[in-house]
Structure 1
Amino acid sequence: MENASSVTSVILTAFYEMEDLKYFYFAIFLLVYFAIIAENVILIVVIYVHRALHEPMYVFVCNLALNELYGSMALLPPIMSNLVSETHEVSLPCCQAQTYCLHTYAITEFTILAVMGYDRYVAICHPLQYHSIMSVSNVYKCVVLSWLLPIIAFGMFFVQTLNLILCGKIMERVYCSNYSLVKLSCTDTTISNILGLFSLFVYTLPQIIIILYSYVHILRVCFHSKESRMKAVKTCSPHLLAIFNYSIGCFFEMSQSRLNMSHVHYGARIFMSLYFLIFPPILNPAMYGMSIQAVRVRIFKLVKIEKSENSSSFT
């Protein structure tokens, strides 16, 4: 066992399984990172530039894209750096910083999705009061809450992890997580595990209640008329797909980190741990960009303008 005072770094052993094809994986992660940056930046720019898109729904979509850039920045550059590293060793402060960023990303993502669900409920169930309920001040409050709640709530819990004395330094992952750090502790982690499960409910239960409340009322309205059903399908489809995609990723992460998955292939476990950190950021902007007509039209116009400018420069 390592001396507690000497543990200043952790070794991410999952990278050893990728050693033979590390440059191939590096290229894949680099392409994924560029795709995430391009998709989300284009979506943010289109929403920011066109004043017609300065509506609550698009403001929340924009914040979702910002959060996905934040989460991807905390995940992919360190993974690519560790892939080409000889030791796959990460300093403890960097590991702790990555843990904080990835967990706040995850909580913020779910919180914004919950707020977006409530926005769709107001738009469908109370269309005449929509702009009074989702006023500029209320939208700003929702946005600030979506960012501050995870930062403060997880920060208060994460202090306990930072105070743990670590004896081990082997982490069988490609990135740092809170549960993996807790498992490296010298002391009994029963209280930490109980607090971790309790905090999981604190971080997710309010959002689940908001989403369920919103969609129960949306379903009730859908039974009234065909027009209501069409409006609900049109406006809620990308949001439901985003929630479904995020939920699958969380299920994969919880399964492979909390359960005994030794019977599952190592590559499958790496994929499961990365799903909710890679697929929502790469799929959500595509779903919202293509599903929402107002955004789709403006993206196509932007692409056409760039093409016409490029063609004119050659003439």
Structure 2
Amino acid sequence: MKRFFYFGVPLLILGGLMLIPMMLALPLVLCWILYLVFRILQLLTNKDEWLRKNLLPFGVNVIALTLSFVLIFVTTSRANSTPALIASLGHISPHYPNSVHNQMSRVIKRGPEVVAPLSTTLEQVLDREYISPFRTAQIAYCLSQIGGEQAEAALQQAIEQHITFDDDFYGKWETAVCCLYAESARERAVPTLMNLLNSAEEKQANSQKLIALLALARTQDPAAVETVLDHADFLKTQLLGKNTPYRQTVQINVTLQALSEGQSPADLSASPIYEPLRLGLNPDSRTKTGIKWDDRWNGELDIEALKAHWSAILK
């Protein structure tokens, strides 16, 4: 029975470290340590022959304990390193957005120090023959949340050099990157997005114009918002188009709803356009003005009144 304490308890504790959170396992490990210390002291002070015969089990326990802590420390350190956190982006199923956001928040908390490796990783991902939409969008989200000139430059470069709008599958991450760039850079993003809008041509013209307009609305820039309102008829035409994907109809509806019902600049970038992309991005879409988002919104737009409304809010 006593030998169980030397071998059974350590195995149970090591199993517990794998199955339950570390904070719950640590008290058990502490008890194990105290027990070993007590028995070793008893061995040193007691001349009992039985204790001396159990010197080997004591040694095995001490070695196992040492190796356990070394492995725990090394594994935890590697898992929490910046390269490991960045490498994990895009590998959690987008069907679990809370888990995805928890992982991204760990990267974002590192602040500006991770912008350079994130930018390098984004460039490497976009240079591949197959571009992972999940990984690309999640890296872009981290950059947009951290912000700063270098982060904005990385997103701008991704738009100018890698976005083609010629594949509906890639259109998901392209939409996400454009909108994230708009939210991060705001008025500084307008020239790049306006260039996308005005350079649309050939078969991808409608998709390119649509994504550019969705992003422009999120810049909170007066001129950009006016441009989007000027293209309201185009957006409504896309809603009725037979070839318009469902996700884009949702994005158009909530964007138009934001323009129609919004009462603050933040309302423009709060519309839930990322959820239908199914990329694991699901930021908080609640607004202080209490807009109840409707993916089938079909209200009427008074363009001139809305121009005056947003001009007064965004001035």
- Structure-1-length-normalised TM-score: 0.28
Higher relative contact order (CA 8 A, sep 6+): 1
- Structure-2-length-normalised TM-score: 0.28
Structure with greater proportional helix content: 1
